[in-house]
């Protein structure tokens, strides 16, 4: 055994497992004893539950959130040379998947308070080769879908909603609160262990109200196969296994309670940072509920704050340290990407810092150590 100093976890997955241990072990054992490990009744049952939870869309589970984006782009018919507008400030997967399929990611700047993709920036980037927009529900809050949908409708673009961080979030449009994963022509999520709804390995899902898209996604996720050994499209191998489905089935039952606890924990941090100067948490738009996949603040003097966290033994992460358009991998893949003009992202990358967070995090304890 390594003798490492004990630091509080950034996301406390062991406390969550302790809380649901009996249910989880029962579900896991049933799968291990069943002899059926990929697809099968657990996966089908989970897909039905996820569909209902998101308000009646169709669900196709797959191997990861990244693969869900890739499959969605294949369903939407992305072709080499097509341009897709993506946020400059997020995890790399959306831009990476566009480039991997030969498309060109075009980087949009963000709003300085909500940190979400800025519809004004998106509008300015639409050109003759633009096919769609990938909107990311950053840190658990939905992107500004009313404004984005208006641009998409005016310009004939599709929207791919990357809700990897926001399964369970709500967004109010026209007075109606709707759940995340229902705002894109196709939407996706990730079940990576530390996401708000996570399994014990890799997993993801694709959501759509379009039956044709759902059918095509299912085909592509399974080697383009409509029946065994008959392949009508070039596809991929991207499947959710039964063990992950069983774990998600248990955790989905606790999700709403966890989201409530997450909101309460966020309030504790909010009040703490409101009492200091030089800090601003990610702004949550009125009417939105966030999953707080990350609790992220802007710190005017981040180095000083990091020194304080280190002295108190509190872990932190930088989401994200660098604008995507500056990543070396996009030098060639996205022609001209390195000259993208995203001044807000440049500034925000130097200020963001994320604190330990989940439904089981002792946020009051963290705040006490920082006072």
Ligand X SMILES: *Cc1c(COP(=O)(O)O)cnc(C)c1O
Note the residues at the interface with ligand X (CB under 6 A).
64-66, 90-91, 93, 136, 162, 164-165, 190, 192, 202, 204
Q: How far is the CB of 110 from ligand X (least distance, A)?
A: 13
Alpha helices (H) along the chain: 13-19, 21-34, 41-53, 65-75, 93-100, 119-125, 145-155, 211-221, 242-274, 302-312, 330-333, 343-349, 363-370
Q: Cβ closer to ligand X: 42 or 202?
A: 202
DSSP-derived secondary structure letter, 38? B
Q: What tokens were used for 88?
A: 């400059």
Closer residue to ligand X in complex, CB, 47/162: 162
Output 90 or 289, the one with its CB closest to ligand X.
90
Helix (H, G, I), strand (E, B) or coil at 189: strand
Using the structure block, give the residue that is written with the tokens 């989880």. Answer: 24
Nearest distance, CB of residue 124 and ligand X, angstroms: 23
Cβ nearer to ligand X, comparing 204 with 235: 204
User: Taking a C-beta distance cutoff of 8 angstroms, is the pair 191, 279 a contact?
Assistant: no
Residue among 191 and 269 whose Cβ is closer to ligand X: 191
What angle (nearest 5°) sits at the alpha carbon of residue 53, between those of residues 52 and 57?
Answer: 55
Minimum distance from CB of 277 to ligand X (Å)?
30
Q: How far is the CB of 276 from ligand X (least distance, A)?
A: 28
3-state SS, residue 289: strand
**Beta pairing partners, 176:** 173
Give the separation between CA 117 and CA 120, rounded to whole angstroms: 9
Nearer to ligand X, 132 or 204 (CB): 204
Maximal CA-CA distance, the chain = 64
Pick the closer one to ligand X by CB: 170 or 189.
189
Residue in the shown chain whose Cβ atom is closest to ligand X? 65
Check whether the bond before 69 is cis (ω within 30° of 0). Answer: no
Q: Are 353 and 305 in contact (CB under 8 A)?
A: yes
From the number of C-beta atoms within 10 Å of its C-beta (0-12, 13-18, 19+), residue 326 rates as middle
Minimum gap (Å) between residue 162 Cβ and ligand X: 5
Shortest approach of ligand X to residue 189 CB, angstroms?
8
Minimal distance, residue 192 CB to ligand X, in Å: 4
């Amino acid at each position: 055994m390594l003798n490492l100093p004990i630091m509080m976890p950034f996301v406390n997955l062991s406390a969550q497992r302790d809380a649901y241990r009996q249910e989880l072990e029962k579900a896991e054992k049933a799968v291990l004893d069943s002899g059926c490990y990929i697809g099968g009744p657990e996966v089908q049952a989970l897909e039905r539950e996820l569909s209902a939870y998101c308000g009646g869309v169709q669900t196709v589970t797959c191997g990861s959130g990244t693969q869900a984006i890739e499959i969605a782009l294949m369903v939407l018919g992305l072709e080499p040379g097509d341009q897709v507008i993506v946020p400059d400030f997020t995890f790399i997967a959306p831009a990476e998947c566009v480039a991997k399929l030969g498309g060109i990611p075009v980087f949009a700047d963000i709003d300085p308070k909500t940190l979400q993709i800025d519809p004004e920036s998106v509008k300015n980037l639409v050109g003759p080769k633009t096919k769609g927009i990938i909107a990311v529900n950053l840190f658990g809050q939905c992107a500004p879908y009313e404004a984005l949908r208006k641009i998409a409708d005016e310009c004939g673009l599709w929207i791919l909603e990357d809700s990897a961080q926001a399964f369970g979030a709500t967004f109010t449009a026209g007075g109606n609160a709707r759940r995340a994963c229902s705002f894109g022509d196709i939407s996706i999520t990730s079940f990576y262990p530390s996401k708000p709804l996570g399994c014990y390995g890799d997993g993801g899902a694709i959501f759509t109200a379009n039956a044709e898209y759902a059918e095509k996604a299912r085909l592509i996720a399974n080697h383009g196969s409509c029946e065994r050994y008959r392949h009508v499209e070039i596809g991929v191998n991207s499947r959710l296994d039964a063990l992950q489905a069983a774990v998600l089935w248990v955790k989905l039952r606790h999700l709403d309670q966890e989201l409530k606890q997450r909101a309460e924990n966020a309030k504790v941090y909010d009040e703490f940072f409101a009492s200091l100067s030089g800090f601003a948490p990610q702004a949550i738009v009125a009417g939105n509920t966030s999953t707080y996949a990350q609790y992220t603040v802007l710190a005017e003097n981040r180095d000083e704050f990091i020194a304080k966290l280190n002295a108190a033994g509190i872990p932190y992460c930088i989401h994200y340290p660098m604008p995507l358009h500056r990543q070396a991998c996009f030098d060639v893949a996205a022609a001209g990407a390195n000259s993208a003009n995203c001044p807000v992202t440049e500034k925000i990358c130097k200020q963001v810092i994320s604190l330990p967070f989940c439904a089981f995090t002792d946020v009051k304890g963290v705040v006490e150590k920082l006072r």
